[in-house]
Amino acid sequence: MEMLKKWKWPGKKLPEAWIPLKKFIPPRECWPDFIWDFTKVPELKLIPYRFNLGEFAVDRNAKRFPDKTALLYENERITWGELEKLVNRAGNALLSLGITLNDRVAICMPNQPTWIITALACWKIGAIVTLMNHLFKASSIEYIANDAEVKAIVASYETIDEILKAKEKFETVKHIVVFGAERKGCLRYEDITKNESTHLEPAETTRFQICRIIYTSGTTGIPKGAIRTADQIIASSYCHGLKTLGLTCDDVVGGHPYFSFAFGSVNFTFNPWLPGCAISIIKEFTPEKQWELVEKHKITQLYVVPAALKLMLKVEEAGKKYDVSSLRLIQTAADMLPPEIFRRWRKRFPFCEIIDSLGSSELDYWLSTRINWPEDKIGSIGFSIPGMESMCIHEDGTPCKIGEVGELVTRGIWGNLYWKKTEKQVESVINGWNRMGLYAFMDKDGAFWLKGRTATIIKYSGYSIVGSEVAACLLGHPAIRDCGVVGSPDPLRGQIVKAYVILNKGYKPSEKLVEELRQYCKERIEFYKVPKAIEFVEELPRTVTGKVDIAALAKIESEKAQVKK
């Protein structure tokens, strides 16, 4: 009998674990192809049908090395044995609140041990972790809570005020739990966990258990919840964590990406559980603080967006001020890594490799450069990671030839699968391949080179910002008649948010008005979305239907930037 080489999702049948959630899952006919290639990643055959992600992540490592470090935060060190007890207390506390199998629990706090503990507790009891960025304003929190039909929100003192602003509009939230603070109408995390048992039986779940929903904004600006199952999370750890990053149990991983972002979610809340490595958590990023933690925590792999890497390279004599000899790998993602930064890093720190990877909220990683990346490939985004395959296609879906620019698509173990959003699901798939709104070409050696992205997406210091959301905010100001928001090229941050504004009668352009508009936005949207530049204009490019032509506006801004150079 021939050994199974590939596995493809069979027929229209949903997994047993999905039946209670059927109304939230898009129809089978509009899914991408899910293909497990065992010839490239044979370890994937080791994932059993009966499988609990929390048990695998915590209990297994606590048994293997109970005294080994799991989490490092400030001056705090938590071992795997201690982490198991903390997770079990948190899991029992959630059970006592009535949180059960498939209930959605939102986590809304900055990176800290409590975030990790809560997520692992949810997985162990079979709840679905729903990610909320701690920088969200009340309107974003309200939308996600209601769309995911969240039953409980676990917050921290940094985020609780915005959550309480949205509280009256929650439709399904039964409990708000806050860590590090006391608020009327909220449960205190420390109180509900301190007397709970340190023993917790894992829920009877399967490899198909939905474990995480992460929200992303597409070109329309409508947030979409992307689904990830337990086996896909472990598969991502094999394909990316082990095969691409080369993680081992001796590694200490660190960096600034938020756990609620795709970059931080995969690198800190997926990958470490497989090898059992340690996580260094930074409270608030500064380049100096990150260098300090490399020395203090003996970080071996550091994950940073290109803008942060640029700032770290600006720290003079960093290699002499700090002991960075533990570093063996830097990974950048969330934005394109400029070739000159790649080369500067290699020159200053030749003992530490650097790779650049491409992923998204819906798709984790699917392309990456590799260790010892050749000089003639610097500036490319690399090859498909094991378990995924990519290509460039024409508008009709036919493959491009070598060197031809086309839409970049991918398929494999994971893919676009949206919570509720059937219309968006249909748009995100073509012939079983996942679409990301990116354009690229493949060279003769199989390496991919990005050429552009959807015009309305602005990449600012690792953040993905939808220009239409910022425009909608500005349009609420009485001075604004119309506006268009695009990304303006920036040497440090990749892009900055720039707004082109048409004023209503009775208003005149001025620096005072610019500051007023920026302050207006600060009070309504997240700080990183606030326009860094505002230009007053008499007219804007339009489509045939009379809408602002964002693609044309982005081109105008790009041409202006070229003239300035």
Average pLDDT over residues 500-504: 94
Which range among 390-399, 453-462, 508-517 shows the weakest confidence by mean pLDDT?
A: 453-462
Of 14-18, 149-153, 298-302, 535-539, which gets the smallest average pLDDT?
14-18
The string of pLDDT tens digits covering residues 275-284 is 999 999 999 9
Residue 218: its pLDDT value, please? 44
Distance CA 441, CA 390 (A): 11
Comparing CA positions, the residue from 10, 198, 19 lying closest to residue 102 is 19
As a whole number, mean pLDDT of residues 343-352 equals 93
pLDDT greater than 90 at residue 473: no
Q: What is the pLDDT of residue 454?
A: 54
How much is the average pLDDT of 371-394? 95
* 258-274: pLDDT as tens digits: 999 999 999 999 999 99
pLDDT band at 311 (very low <50, low <70, confident <90, very high): confident
pLDDT for residue 153 is more than 90:
yes
Which sign, positive or negative, has the C-alpha torsion 105, 111, 115, 120? positive
Nearest to 530 by CA among 519, 546, 545: 519
Q: What is the mean pLDDT of residues 53-73?
A: 98
What was the pLDDT predicted at 450?
84
pLDDT band of 217, cuts 50, 70, 90: low
**pLDDT at residue 564 is higher than 80:** no
Q: What is the mean pLDDT of the chain?
A: 92
The alpha-carbon radius of gyration of the chain (Å, integer) is 23
- 20-29, 155-164, 410-419, 453-462: the lowest-pLDDT one: 453-462
DSSP-derived secondary structure for 98-164:
T--TT-EEEEES-SSHHHHHHHHHHHHHTPEEEE--TT--HHHHHHHHHHTTEEEEEEETTTHHHHH
Using an 8 Å Cβ cutoff, are 239 and 245 in contact? no
Read off the pLDDT band of 4 (50, 70, 90). low
Residue 6: the pLDDT is 82
Q: How far is CA 561 from CA 22, 502, 555, in A?
A: 49, 21, 10
Which residues are CB-neighbours of 276 under 8 A, at least 6 positions away?
Answer: 60, 61, 64, 65, 68, 70, 80, 249
List the structure tokens of 143: 């939308």
| 89, pLDDT greater than 90 | yes
User: Which of 397, 384, 379, 376 shows the shortest CA–CA distance to 358?
Assistant: 384
- Percent of all residues in the chain with a pLDDT value above 70, rounded to a whole number: 96
What's the mean pLDDT in 130-149? Answer: 94
Chain centroid to CA 480: how far?
A: 33
pLDDT at 239 over 90: yes
Q: Mutual orientation of helices 306-313 and 339-348 as an angle, nearest 10°? A: 40
Structural domains of the chain, with CATH: 54-67+75-205 (3.40.50.980), 457-564 (3.30.300.30)
pLDDT, mean of residues 307-327: 92
Please, which residues have CB within 8 angstroms of residue 74's CB and are 6 or more apart in sequence? 283
pLDDT of residue 332: 95
Residue 491: which pLDDT band, with cuts at 50, 70 and 90? confident
pLDDT of residue 481: 85
Average pLDDT for residues 245-260, to the nearest whole number? 97
Amino acid at the residue 529: K
Q: Return the minimum-mean-pLDDT range out of 13-22, 106-115, 499-508.
A: 13-22
Does pLDDT of 3 surpass 60? no
DSSP category for residue 46? G
Instruction: Residue 215: name the closest of 138, 133, 152 by CA.
Output: 133
Average pLDDT on 107-136 reads: 97
Residues 172 and 150 sit within 8 Å (Cβ to Cβ): yes
Q: Where are the alpha helices (DSSP H) in 452-548?
A: 467-474, 511-522
Q: Residue 484 pLDDT more than 80?
A: yes
Length of the chain: 565
Q: How confident is the model at residue 400 (pLDDT cuts 50, 70, 90)?
A: very high
**The predicted structure's pLDDT at residue 75:** 92
How many whole angstroms separate alpha carbon 79 and alpha carbon 65? 9
Average pLDDT score over residue span 528-549: 85
Q: State yes or no: pLDDT of 19 exceeds 70.
A: yes
Strands 463-466 and 457-460: what pairing? antiparallel
Beta bridge partners of 449: 441
Q: What is the pLDDT at residue 500?
A: 97
How far is residue 410's CA from residue 439's CA, in Å, rounded to a whole number?
12
462: confidence class by pLDDT, cuts 50, 70, 90? confident
Type of residue numbered 497: V
On the question of pLDDT at 492 being above 90, the answer is: no
